[in-house]
Amino acid sequence: MTAPRAFRLAEIVEHLGGELAGDPDVAIERVASLESAGPGDIAFLAQAKYRPKLRATQAAALILPRGERDATPLPRILCDDPYVYFARVSALLNPPAGFQPGVHPSAVVEPGARIAGSAHVGPGCHVGRSAELGENVCVEAGCAIGEEVRIGEGSRLHPCVVVYARCMIGRRAIVHSGAVIGADGFGMAPHEGRWLKIPQLGRVVIGDDVEVGAGTTIDRGTLDDTVIEDGVKLDNQIQIGHNVRVGAHTAMAGCVGVAGSARIGRYCTFGGAAMVLGHLELADHVHVSAGSLVTKSILEPGTYTGVFPIQAGRAWRRTAALLKNIDKLESRVRALERIVAELQEKE
């Protein structure tokens, strides 16, 4: 990121809206939490349970809900959603680092590749034949761009990203270091006690405004494409299997795994380490809790949890034993119910 610059509180409101209360000339240089904020910092309050921390904060200014106007005498911006406003202030104060257009002398650009004049290709990069990098694309050091890859305008690939042949990345994408786009999916056919590799002939097609985290892998399709629609946000170390489709504006936290040919709807969320088995379908607005294992399709929106609460080891073993024998217990209960019913009939 570029070095942050200071904004007067009034300038922030001019850029982002909201209602200003207090000194408009307070200089804001950084964003911070209520606990750690000091001179030059702006902090935010999103939930009423944190209101007591307002009394001790050393922040220069605050972002508050409109209903909290009188919660502090400090200079403040009142808005509808302090967390979202805080995110926008942070982006205003910390714009992405700039880059110089051009191709570094140590980069290798194969014949037929087309690189826009405003694009940047960093040291040690390789750009394959007939690849195309649009306007204001930034490909940082050590990236490998395969043949016939298309990267849309304004996208940024951080160091050591690999994009395999024929894959497509839309506009304004952010791909973090170590991500691999378009490696082979796990396609194997058993034959006479051995595995035969199935060529993976599809692509990965990524839409606009997508962010892909560090170390995340998105496999190419076997025949059809793996598709990541517009606005999807993928955290670090996520695995997306071949032929998966992830609907627009879905967000996944770290270490989520989605097996091949699953279909994920729009505006879904996945907590860390959630897993989705292959060939399943999840409707729009499905929210999967952290650590959950999705073993069947989910066709209705809502929040779904499939994780057993943690217990002390001894208690967990007892619970596991009970669950293991739940079928026997059910049979005994039903037998007792029949006996009770027969006795009641005789009375």
Residues annotated as catalytic (active site), given as ranges: 242
Question: Among 296, 266, 268, which residue's Cα sits nearest to residue 281?
Answer: 296
Residue 276, classed as helix, strand or coil, is: strand
Q: Which residues contact 209 (CB under 8 A, 6 or more apart)?
A: 170, 171, 172, 173, 230, 231
Q: How many CB atoms lie within 10 A of CB 262?
A: 22
Give the helix ranges, DSSP H, for 104-228.
none
Torsion of CA 284, 289, 291, 292, to 10 degrees: -60
H/E stretch holding 174 reads: strand 174-175
Asked if residue 173 lies in contact with residue 152, where contact means CB atoms within 8 angstroms, the answer is yes
The token pair that represents 326 in the structure block? 């739940």
Q: What is the DSSP string of 75-96?
A: -EEEES-HHHHHHHHHHHHSPP
What is the distance between the alpha carbons of residues 132 and 61, in angstroms, rounded to a whole number?
A: 46
Q: Residue 68 carries which DSSP code?
A: G
Planar angle of CA 273, 278, 284, nearest 5 degrees: 75
